[in-house]
Amino acid sequence: MPFTTVGKENSGNIDLYYEDHGSGGPVVLIHGYPLSGASWEKQVAALLAAGHRVITYDRRGFGQSSQPTTGYNYDTFAEDLHKLVTQLNLRDFALVGFSMGGGEVARYLGKYGSKGVSKAVIISGIPPFLLKTADNPEGVDGSVFEGIQKAVAADRYAFFADFFKNFYNTDLLLGKRVSDQAVQSSWNVAAGASAAASLACVPTWYEDFRKDLTRIDVPTLVIHGDADRILPIAASGLRTAKLIAGARLLVVKDGPHCIPWTHADEVNPELVKFLGKGIA
């Protein structure tokens, strides 16, 4: 099992678990909360078939990565990603982020620039800025995030059960586009995440990515479902596409938050077409 060391906490290393498959044009897939790199299984298969080298990794605190109690902020997440792509010596690679992973894409390009990055994709992403402020009236009231933090702290297992109902819009899509077992599997992965990370990530959801987005200068595709209950498209995807120069927007009709799973039949062809064939 490959790991890359990104830091230390007291006597222990902070290691990120990653998987690196295939050959051709590299694509780095960055997962959402509270899952792991394994949540990309439908995209990994499609990208490998298209001739890409595909790298997935588990964010600190999640999946098989270390579970430190520190570093849950987007500057550190972007630094972790930078250390991974540096260790793997990636050139001309694409960054694809889902949900929270969209924040890594934005902050990475905002902080490190686009050297070595060929393209960017943000799916159901958290940018540009979710918190309601004087200069961001479209945002969500801070009390909503405080309520989520209280729910996670009180009983994260119960919180995750409710969260995944809206993650997959199970009232409409269960038995059609997502199975009970797939939802249970997501809950199992979430339950295995660090308790500290599960709580500490909530305030990162209202990070301000507006400046990061304006610095993105590579071809960018924004994909978002118009029935997303976790990150409504009007507050996130539509605004993100406007802030990135020349970005292409794909709206998935009736798509919930987790369109990489429920609407893989629509997401994958667009992803492969945008990224191109991995091997000439």
Active-site annotation, residues: 99, 228, 257
How far, in Å, CA of 101 to CA of 238, rounded?
17
Give the Å distances, CA to CA, from 97 to 40, 56, 116, 155, 211: 10, 10, 17, 28, 18
Cα separation, 274 vs 253, in Å, equals: 19
Q: Are 52 and 22 contacting, i.e. CB atoms less than 8 angstroms apart?
A: yes
Interior/surface letters 215-227, b for 16+ CB within 10 angstroms, e for the rest: ebeebbbbbbbeb
SS3 228: coil
Nearest to 205 by CA among 230, 241, 182, 227: 230
Helices (H), 29-87: 41-49, 74-87
User: Using alpha carbons only, how large is the chain's radius of gyration in Å?
Assistant: 17
Q: Under a CB-based contact definition with an 8 Å cutoff, are residues 37 and 63 in contact? A: yes
